[in-house]
Amino acid sequence: RWNGTESCTLNHSDTNTIETQSDDLLPPDNNSIVQSITPLKNTKHFLVSAFMDQRVQGFDIRLIGMFRRDSIQELHCFFCCADYTSETTPTKVLQHSDNFGFPFVTTDIMCRIPKKCNATHVTLLTKPKPEKRVDWLPIRNKKTNGGAEERMDFTVCISNLFGDYNNVLQFAQTLEMYRLLGVNRVVIYNTSCGPDLDRLLRSYSQEGFVEIVSWPIDKYMNPSPGWYFSDFGGDIHYFGQLTTLNECIYRSMERSCYVLLNDIDEIIMPYQHDNLKSLMDELQKQHPNVGVFLIENHIFPKHRFEPSGRFHLPKWSGVPGINILEHVYREDPDRKIYHPYKMIVQPRMVKQTSVHNVLQLFGQMYKVPLDICRTIHIRNAMKNISKLQELSVDKRLWDFQEKLIPNVDKVLHNSGLLK
């Protein structure tokens, strides 16, 4: 039984370890295809992934899905056990509390593996008797021999890319900042993106730093581009970002000590440490029972430019997007109207997450003081400010410019984006 005390040791060698995929099992039946969104037969629901999860007593498996709230029904787990199919087992269906009024909600389905079954794949059935043709989901996070494999330290989960988003310069700069801060892997869920960004991401995913998960949610439902059903309509909150963030936490659970949950226009930035590893070593030592570290979000308006133009580099003028080094003015968050946190979490301490907070966890949460760490969020202004004096000057990003600029040049060059 999970008691939240099993510690995760940060890797102190200098090299970033990129794990090879250990769970690309072949589906047992050639007719079934592993995909990120699987319609669940005879229901209105969709399954996304299945994970081994024995942290809650009485359960072995957690499936993550997108369920229609008006059609929740009894379901049964059905397993593929290495060389035979099992009888079914009962399930517990847990809708996440965050649905923002949309018909579909992120849902966890918990169940047990039958005795003696060496389960490799699972699916859900509407009746408690085995069936012939089913769409199997591979079971991820099965611990392989002794679990001695090396873990990554930090994974960033970027929820959803959609529309024709083509902010290449900010994307490349931000990914390279993550790398300088010690991030080993960035997981990105892709519905669609602009042409230059597509090239950049292909180059990053070939190299292994970025893991692209295809997220064709628009093929299955009408995803909302907004936060609330009442404002935007549609079937599910913001292209399903709550589902992808949860999926990313479970995907990372056995392979990364920490997961950072933030958007691509945000950088979780230590202000007193050179990198995330030394930051978390210290924070975790001071707060051994904390599994969720809340980092306050600070907006750097993209329409305010640093006046000297020192980093307005002509070589980047043909690259679409925001140059983060040019934005050094920082707003104070309006703590009355805005929910201003992003998170660093130990994935094994999280059961269910939302965007700005965790819904269910083992262990404690901690708000990290502002002088230690903030989220740098370069975007449209949040506040209507008339005088520059109402903004703080914050040049923390410049501390990294010497390495950042050549690294960004290199990746832009490699993806053919630097003329």
Ligand X SMILES: *[C@@H]1O[C@H](CO)[C@@H](O)[C@H](O)[C@H]1NC(C)=O
Rounded to a whole number of angstroms, the minimum distance from the CB of residue 150 to ligand X is 21
Closer residue to ligand X in complex, CB, 212/359: 212
Q: Are strands 266-270 and 373-379 parallel, antiparallel or unpaired?
A: antiparallel
Q: Is 198 in the site for ligand X (CB under 6 A)?
A: yes
Closer residue to ligand X in complex, CB, 201/408: 201
CB 271 within 8 A of CB 373: yes
Nearest to 70 by CA among 235, 260, 263: 235
Buried b (16+ CB within 10 A) or exposed e, 237-262: bbbbbbbbbbbbbbbbbbbbbbbbbb
Closer residue to ligand X in complex, CB, 5/384: 384
**The one segment of 128-136, 191-199, 267-275, 307-315 that binds ligand X by CB under 6 A:** 191-199
- Residues binding ligand X: what is the number (CB under 6 A)? 11
CA distance 40 to 104: 14
Rounded to a whole number of angstroms, the minimum distance from the CB of residue 192 to ligand X is 4
CB 182 within 8 A of CB 153: yes
CA distance 242 to 418: 35
CA atoms within 13 A on the CB side of 376: 24
Identify the bridge partners of residue 182 per DSSP, sorted by sequence position. Answer: none
Closer residue to ligand X in complex, CB, 156/276: 156
Rounded to a whole number of angstroms, the minimum distance from the CB of residue 218 to ligand X is 9
H-run or E-run covering 200? helix 195-207
Q: Residue 83 — φ and ψ, nearest 5°?
A: -125, 10
Rounded to a whole number of angstroms, the minimum distance from the CB of residue 210 to ligand X is 8
Closer residue to ligand X in complex, CB, 42/144: 144
In the block, residue with structure tokens 């630097």: 418
Nearest to 63 by CA among 154, 145, 140, 147: 140
Q: Is 120 in the site for ligand X (CB under 6 A)?
A: yes
Contact residue for ligand X among 10, 56, 94, 212 (CB under 6 A):
212
Which residues does 254 contact at the CB level (< 8 Å), separation at least 6? 141, 143, 147, 151
Joined together, the tokens standing for residue 135 give 């769409």
Rounded to a whole number of angstroms, the minimum distance from the CB of residue 255 to ligand X is 19
CA distance 289 to 211: 30
Closer residue to ligand X in complex, CB, 176/198: 198
Q: Are strands 256-261 and 152-161 parallel, antiparallel or unpaired?
A: parallel
Rounded to a whole number of angstroms, the minimum distance from the CB of residue 216 to ligand X is 6
Contact residue for ligand X among 137, 193, 411, 417 (CB under 6 A):
193
Rounded to a whole number of angstroms, the minimum distance from the CB of residue 345 to ligand X is 26
Joined together, the tokens standing for residue 108 give 């966890």
Joined together, the tokens standing for residue 60 give 């072995």
Q: Is 21 in the site for ligand X (CB under 6 A)?
A: no
**The one segment of 54-62, 188-196, 290-298, 345-353 that binds ligand X by CB under 6 A:** 188-196
**The one segment of 197-205, 358-366, 392-400, 411-419 that binds ligand X by CB under 6 A:** 197-205
Rounded to a whole number of angstroms, the minimum distance from the CB of residue 215 to ligand X is 8
Rounded to a whole number of angstroms, the minimum distance from the CB of residue 98 to ligand X is 26
Residues 45-104 that bind ligand X (CB under 6 A): 82
Contact residue for ligand X among 7, 22, 35, 118 (CB under 6 A):
118
338 to 140, 356, 383: CA distances (angstroms): 36, 11, 11
**The one segment of 129-137, 192-200, 238-246, 393-401 that binds ligand X by CB under 6 A:** 192-200
Q: Is 31 in the site for ligand X (CB under 6 A)?
A: no
Compute the Cα dihedral for 155, 108, 148, 138 and give only its sign. negative
Closer residue to ligand X in complex, CB, 198/326: 198
Q: Is 9 in the site for ligand X (CB under 6 A)?
A: no
Closer residue to ligand X in complex, CB, 83/371: 83
CB 280 within 8 A of CB 343: no
Closer residue to ligand X in complex, CB, 372/381: 381
**What is the residue-wise DSSP string for 307-324?**
TT-TT--GGGTTS-S--G
Rounded to a whole number of angstroms, the minimum distance from the CB of residue 58 to ligand X is 22
Contact residue for ligand X among 109, 201, 294, 382 (CB under 6 A):
201
Q: Is 384 in the site for ligand X (CB under 6 A)?
A: yes
Q: Is 26 in the site for ligand X (CB under 6 A)?
A: no
Alpha helices in 148-302 (DSSP H): 168-181, 195-207, 229-232, 241-252, 276-286
- The residue ranges that bind ligand X (CB under 6 A) are 82, 118, 120, 190, 192-193, 198, 201-202, 212, 384
